Amino acid sequence: MSHPIAPHGSAQLRPLLVPAEERIAALAHAATLPRLTVSSREAGDIIMLGIGGFTPLSGFMGHADWHGVVTEMKLASGLFWPIPITLSTSAEQAEGLALGQELALADAAGNLLAILTLEEKYRIDKALEAREVFRTEDPAHPGVAALYAQGEVNLGGSLRVLSEGDFPERFPGVYLTPAQTRGLIAERGWKTVAAFQTRNPMHRSHEYLAKIALEVCDGVLIHSLLGNLKAGDIPSEVRVQAIDALTGKYFVEDSVISAGYPLDMRYAGPREALLHALFRQNYGCTHLIVGRDHAGVGDYYGPFDAQRVFDELPAGSLLTQPLKIDWTFWCEACASMASTKTCPHDASQRLLLSGSKLRKLLSEGGEVPAQFSRPEVLDILRAYYAGLEAHERVEVTLVGASAK
């Protein structure tokens, strides 16, 4: 048995989920409290807080933590943290809330998720958060749009989490908590583990990145986002099925753990890459694979901004380190996957692979080059697109490198 890397800022995980034997009473108590409906992003954050994915946070951030994270990527305590974890509400609802009172937090379907002990009410400068976290104030950016749409007042306070939502039922064996992934890592005796972040089914370039990591690490955690995506992205259930088909046939047995986590994408590019590394540390990973356009959207970020941001951190900010991998592609002359570090041939020989390009080809019924993805994966994705009604199809626009 190995001992996985320590959690972020703590000697042990700090899950906020109420123990199972206390949950019935806690749910009954929550049903008597004033109720606040949270957004999908906030619901995912609640669950991550509940399972210890956001160790060592004890709840939603107050103003000092929010301001420190936005401007300096530090909590008020000085601990590194790259993206605010906040809860908001309308000014009208906030006006009627008293500090010290308890609030029940529920999702859009009315399911009780947590009890918040309100410790702070504060307004924020949304434009400042947009500029610092997303590097843009453009409301067309999906993360900025979500920020501008949130309530005027943030609520800070500690949480008692009551539920993991429907993730355990929807994704049995895939949705795993940090304690569970750490247990698997320890059982396999892995000392070095690279996390591969994905919100797309894995094409050949993704597969190549994971296999490069396997050459230098004991194992890879293929960690699939299970929360909400932007319109046109492939649903989590389909993505998980495609990943399982790929790993089952094209990876050495027991070299990977395929799992999922409950967050929505923020599309914050470099800042989100840092958050991905931070909570992968809590999941037991020593490394995070950072390739081209990690956590990006559109052309808001340079293709390797998410790699460079790690170089700007003060020493000791994170234990989990980036595995920076250059532009990867299929090279006809090499007759294999390659990168700009290994392939001497010019652009005419290179087929650049991207999730958005694959989605565009499939959504339009186009021919997908055999080098783009494994046939087992393409079969699953073609079946998904064939089952969509016309009104369910979203036009995929290619920008930046994906358009080449």
pLDDT at site 13: 98
Q: Both 183 and 250 in a single domain?
A: yes
Q: Which one-letter DSSP state was computed for residue 277?
A: H
**Residue 10, domain member (yes or no):** no
Task: Specify which residues 131 forms β-bridges with.
Answer: none
At 393 the pLDDT is 60
3-class secondary-structure state, position 294: coil
Cβ–Cβ < 8 Å for 102, 239? no
Which of 134, 163, 192 is the last residue in one of the domains? 163
Let me know if residue 3 belongs to a domain. Answer: no
Residues 150 and 178 in one domain: no
Residue 102 sits in a domain of what CATH number? 3.10.400.10
Determine, yes or no, domain membership for 11: no
Same domain, 221 and 119: no
Domain boundary residue among 148, 163, 178? Answer: 163
In a domain, 9, yes or no: no
The position carrying tokens 């296999």 is 211
Residues 349 and 228 in one domain: yes
State which of 106, 136, 163 marks the end of a domain. Answer: 163
Same domain, 331 and 208: yes
- Count of domains for the chain: 2
Q: What is the pLDDT of residue 398?
A: 47
Measured CA to CA in angstroms, residue 163 lies from 30, 101, 176, 399, 404 at distances of: 12, 21, 14, 39, 44
Say yes or no: 136 and 109 in one domain.
Answer: yes
In a domain, 12, yes or no: no
Same domain, 157 and 247: no
Phi, psi of 101 (to 5 degrees): -80, 160
Alpha-carbon torsion, ordered 152, 271, 359, 378, to 10 deg: -130
The answer on 258 and 310 residing in a single domain is yes
Catalytic residues: 199-200
Would 8 be classed as within a structural domain? no
Predicted pLDDT at 226: 93
Residue-range definition of the domain harbouring residue 274: 169-403
Inside any domain, residue 104: yes
Q: Would you say residue 67 lies in a domain?
A: yes
Angle value at C-alpha 109, between 104 and 110, nearest 5 degrees:
25
Residues 317 and 175 in one domain: yes
Residue owning tokens 């194992």: 219
- Is 191 found in the same domain as 111? no
> How far apart (Å, rounded) are the C-alpha atoms in residues 235 and 166?
15
Identify the CATH number of the domain in which residue 277 sits: 3.40.50.620
Q: Are 266 and 325 found together in one domain?
A: yes
pLDDT, tens digit only, all 404 positions of the chain: 678 999 999 999 999 999 999 999 999 999 999 999 999 999 999 999 999 999 999 999 999 999 999 999 999 999 999 999 999 999 999 999 999 999 999 999 999 999 999 999 999 999 999 999 999 999 999 999 999 999 999 999 999 999 999 999 999 999 999 999 999 999 999 999 999 999 888 989 999 999 999 999 999 999 999 987 766 778 889 999 999 999 999 999 999 999 999 999 999 999 999 999 999 999 999 999 999 889 999 899 999 999 999 999 999 999 999 999 998 999 999 999 999 999 999 999 999 887 778 878 888 888 888 888 999 999 999 999 888 876 556 554 544 444 44
Considering the domain architecture, whether residues 130 and 45 belong to the same structural domain is answered as yes
